Structure formats: C-alpha cells, structure tokens
Structure 1
Amino acid sequence: MIIISNVIAFLLISYIANSFLSSKYSKNKYLAILFIFITLESFINHTGASPFKGIFLLIMYFLYVFIQFEGKPIQKIMIIVPFFLIQVISEILVAFCLNNILFIEITRNAFSHGFLLGTIFSNTILAIFVFFYVRILKLIQADNLPKYTWLALILPIISIIFLLDSDDYFDLLNISPHVLLTTAGLAVSNIILFIIFISAINSTNMKHKLQIAEQKEELINSKLDLLSQHYDYNFKFLHNLLHTCSQLNSLFNDSNYIEATNVLNKLSDTAFKEFNAIYSNSYILNYVINNNLTKIIDYNIDIKTVIKYSDFKNLDYYTQLNLFEYLINLSIDSCLQVATSDKIIIIKSVKTANKIILKLFYSASSIDKYNIEKNINEILFNKYNSLSIRNIDNLFISILISFDIPS
C-alpha cells in the first residue's frame, strides 16, 4: 500500500507540474525519470512515513520537479510547497479523525485496517486538492507574478518546518492530538492565505491588462478622430485654396500684382500655421492640438511643435493626454490675455543621455507658478525627474519637465 501511495503522490505532483510547466525531455525519458524517483521514494519510505523521512521526500520532490520540468524557480516552488504541505496535513487530519472520531487505532503496521483506510482517505483528499489547485493555477498568469511572490510562501514553509520538527506523529497523535490538529489547522490556513494572495495578484494583473486594453482602444479612437479632423481641415483648406486660386487668377488678369502678392503671402502664412498646428510626431499631442485648432486659428496664435522624441514609456495614455491637454489649454488661455499680436506657443521634446526633456514656451503677461506646479504634480504623480518654470522678460513663460528613461 505504501508503494501505491508513493506512485499516486508522484503522479499527482506530475499532474500539477504538467498543467503549469513544460517537460524538458521526450516521453520515454520523462517516464524513465518518473520511474526512478518513484523507486527511490519507495525504497526510502517502504517502512512508513516519519518526520525525518519527510525531509528526504521534500528534497526528492524538489529534485524531481527541477530536473523534469522547465520554468522559473518560483513556479516550481509554487507547485512543490503547497503539494507537500497538503500531503502532510491530509495524513495528519485523516489519522486524527480515524483515531478520535471513528475510534480506529492508527499504527505503524502498513497492513492494519487503520493504516490502509488512512492511506486511502489521505490520498483522496490530496487528489481533490490537486484538482482544485490546478484549476487555480490555470487562471494565474505566472509570468506576470511580481518578484516578491516568494514572500507568500514563507508561512507555508514555516508550517512544513513545524510539522517536520515533530518527533513522532503517532506519539503526538496519542498524547496531544489537539496540538497536532492545531498545527495542521494553521498549515491549512497558510495554504488558503497563499492561494488568496496569488489570486489577488492575478486579479490585479488582469485589471492592469484591462486598463492597458482600454487605453489602447482610446488611442485608436483618438487616431480615428484625428484622421477625421484632418479630412475636415484638408477639405476646408482645399476649398479655400480653390477660392484663392480663382482670386489670384483674377488679380493677375487685372495686372494687380501687389494685391496678388498680399494674397499669396496670406495663403503661405495660413498654410504654414495650419501645418505646424496639425502635425507633430506625437499622436496624442496631435489630437489635443486639433481639438483646439479653431481657437488657435481664430485668435491668430502661432504654434510650433518639435517633437523629436515621443516615446514616453513611463507615462500611460491617460497621463499623456491629461498632461498635453493641460499644457495646451494653459498656453492658449495665456496667449488670449496677451495684448500684443505676437502670440506664440512652442512645444519641444528631445532625448539627452538618460533623460527625456519636454519644453513648453508660450506668450504670457503673468505667471502663477504655484498653481502650475500643483496641477502638473497632480497629473504626473511625481513621475518626472525635475520641473522648471521660468518667467522670461515678463513676455514669455518656459516650462521644462524632465523624465528618466525607463531601463
């Protein structure tokens, strides 16, 4: 019966590993390694289990999984530790129930009724746990587990140490069954906490993936809106261009070259402004500018974008959108308060060494440095390296934000 129990144990841990990891070897080598480990366990454990033999059994599980399967160490530990802990707990709980509830004596005799019933029930409990644990593991994206996941295994490992530290399960079962039951209960609670922990991590990762998917959808929609805006503005521009060409043709026919020159200069100026306003190397900035393009043109604001680097990896879609919307609205509102006709907005971004520099330069008659810093801090949540706000000759404001490039 002990040999059959050993075979079942290795088949169950192989079932978990195959559901979570991939085998390193061909089918024949896989079966040969499995047979070798079952033989070794049967040789060590043929006279029955004990805390001391449990240490060797745990070592064999580690060797088997690490030799037989590919994967990260944390993935393999997540298979071995809960499995071994439940294996020990199931044996203790079944022995306690048989001895104290059904009053069936548990002895070391491998052929006694108590030993046979205990082995059957404990393996049944272990198989049920394995079935549910595999279902949980299949829902978890192990590649997304954080580096600190191993911390969740500390309590289960401590439980194993306590259980293996007991001198003799049979003596403890007869002398202090409540101590053994309490220890097993704590171990079960640790397993439950571990499962809850990794499930919570997986849920957080799924929410993060959903957020990224929503941001990608928003980005695609903003690109579609931008294309629609480009079409509308291009159609309007071409319509005005045809009208201007007709006007120029009339002026040239009338030999009114001075007026024709003025019309051409106006056309060139309009084309230059609209091109600079519409196009930049950042889709998000394009979207924001085009949403404000009517106001920019109506109030004769010269806007220029020099986006040499637009890969803001440390900022998600919503953060970039909120930042650019705030900066554009801030600069437009400031330009509207300027009395002079020269209203300027310049947005630049460059990459220097390990920094990304974003600079905004715009016309202004006054500055509220405190509110600007506060609003940028609320948008970026301290995701930037430095922030500089300067008033230049009481005519312009310069805002410079630097970001660390993620490694």
Structure 2
Amino acid sequence: MQKIKYLIIMENTVLERNYNEIISYIGKYKNNVSQTNAKKVIGSFKEEWVNTIEYSGEDYGNALIIYSVGVFELETLSTVEVELLSEKIKFFDENESVKYKLGIKTALFINLAQCWYRLGDKYKKNIIDSCKKYIYYLIGCSYNTSYSPSAYKFRTCNKYLFQSLINESIGLTSPGYFNDPFDSPIRELLNNDEEFSQYIRQAYNDCLKVSCFSSNIKLPREDEKTHQIIHKEEKLKGALPEYLNELMWAHYADSHKGVCIKYHFPNSFTKFVHNSDGITCFFYDVIYSDSDISQYSNKDSINMKDAFFLKGKQWEYENELRLLYFDVKGREGYKVIKAENCIEAVYFGLRCSEEDKTTIMNILKDKKLITIDLRDKQTESPIKFYQMEVDKEHFGQVKAKEIITDAM
C-alpha cells in the first residue's frame, strides 16, 4: 500500500512539473513567435506534455497553438513538421477531456490550414479539410441553446415543394447560391482575391447550408443588464402576422400562386454533434443594418454574427430567422434534412390553383404536428389549412380563412 501511495505522489509531482513548464512556455512565447525564434519555440515544446491534457487541457491547448505558430514561422517548412503538427492536433481534438474547447480548436485548425498552404497547392485537400474543421468549431462557438421556434416559409408550388412535403424534409443551400448577391457579408468576404480565401470559400460551399424562414418573434435572449431571459420579444412593433406579409407572398410565393407553411420546431431539431460526423444545426435571428456590406471584400476575417446573420436594412420587412447546418463531410450544392411532424399549418395564396391545393392537402392529410412540453408530454395535432382572401375591410390587405376538412 505504501508503494502505491508513493507512485500516486510521484505521478502528481510529474503532472505538476509538466503543468508549470507549460505555463512558463506560454508566458515566454505568447504573442512572441517569429521566424527568428521559430526553431527554439518548436524545440522547447515537450512531447510528454500531452499527458497533462486531462489535468490542464486548456493550457496544453494554448501551448499547442504557440507550437503551431512556430511551425508556420519556420524559414524552411517540410511535410514532416506539418504532418507531426497534424498528429498532435488530431490527438488533442479527439481527447474527451477537451471536447468543448472550441475556441482553441478553431485556432489550431486555421493554423494547420495555413501550414499546409505554405507547402503548396498539391496539399489542397489537406488545406480544405483543415479549413472545414476550423469553420465547424467557429460555428460551434456561436451555437445557441436549443430553441423551439415557430417559423414561416413561403414557397412556390412545384415538384420540389411536393417532394419535401411527402418526405417531411427541408432543403438548405450553400451561401454561394443565394439569390441576392448582398444577402450576407460572408459572400463579400469570400470574394477576396487572396488565394487562401479561395480554400475557405470551398470549405464553406461544401459544408455550410442555410434555410431561411420568417418569424416576427425574436429567439429567447439574455438581457445584458439584468441577465434575465427575454421571451416573445417582437422584432418590429405592430407587424402583421407573418402569413399576412404581402411582400413575402410577392417575392417568395410566386405572387400568391404558392403557399406559406408554418413550422413548429422541437428543441431536438437543433444540435451540435461533437464526433466524427461533425454536424451542427441551429437557428439565429438575422440582424439588419445600414452598413456597407461590400466593406468585407477587403477584410480577411469576420465574426460569425456578421458573416451569416447581418443583412441590409431594406430587407427588414422579412423578419428573417435562419437555420444554419454545417456538415464537415458535406459537398457543394443542396442538402435535405428531415423535419418530421413539424408542420403546423399551410396557407394557400390567393391565386394558388385548386389542383395544387388538392395535391398538398392529400399529401398532408395523414400527417400530424407533434409538440412536446417542458414536462415531456407529447401532443399530436392535425395540420390546419387556410385560404388567403382579400380583406375587404382593410384596403390592400389579405386575411386567412380556415378550411374545414372531413378529417377534422
């Protein structure tokens, strides 16, 4: 028994000594790495420090960031150094004790991408793969608590709509496919001619997908002064209900020939999956600004809020709520994800054809909206249907009249 105690004491002493060395290393080289001392920075990093991850993961991670900068700053960089760095980062990334050190991982993977970039275009896949992990953790840092929002989506009646209703799915698209070239600053940032930006652009286009909804109510947020959670705060005071927004009908529902679908998403719909799948999915309210979005084409970095959730003031009427989906293994183009039992109601436009209405109602007649309350009690409700009509009492406005079906 005495020997076991001795071994435990020895182990703790080694851990403490390694930890002290790490702290000293960080203090010496933080913001102080250059080509002139790069070899010394790399040489001072000890392999045995890896054993302290569970004991001091964040500090080890910060030391590893400094090491990665040292590798990048080497006057002559070889594949051997970058592969070794890649192995160290991979080991750190997969260690359970530092699972949520997302800020550190963000820095590590962008540094690794820059190191691969220094080796040339023949390492294009390594560069892009590292950029994908960088973006994944960057988005993860902005991940919000799961919400259960109600949101509206205006759609044109076509085979893609019908298929999405049959499969109970939602389509998402890469930012590069947005209709409006000034829809988000991320497009301006990625238009940067600097070569490394092209790799980041490819990573975004491969992995990031967005779907846009309309919601008059902000997602719950914490008040900066009181730290109380604010619920059901209006985006625009006195705004008409989403399904009465005439501009949305005109721009996104084929001038009333289409439909407006009301969704109610469960908390489980959004997620941050920290495993080999590398998937994150979450909602965020769009922020409208008078700022000149084109300014971002001259920048080499951008924060998450500005990148994907900043939009010109002229679009404020949309009250947009965005769903971001990022898959590290994704490919460029469109992505379809399941959204089962999330449709609450369908509003048919003034000019929606009888054929399209019948098709949609037949597709959805046996489907249900399922909601789960705070006590995990599950409730099933039939999907409701409404016909938009001209509101004769209010000039220039429409109203919704519920369609009573046999199923009800």
**TM-score band, normalised by shorter chain:** under 0.3
Q: Which has the larger radius of gyration?
A: 1
Structure having greater relative contact order (Cα 8 Å, sep ≥ 6): 2
Larger proportion of helix: 1
Q: TM-score normalized by structure 2?
A: 0.25
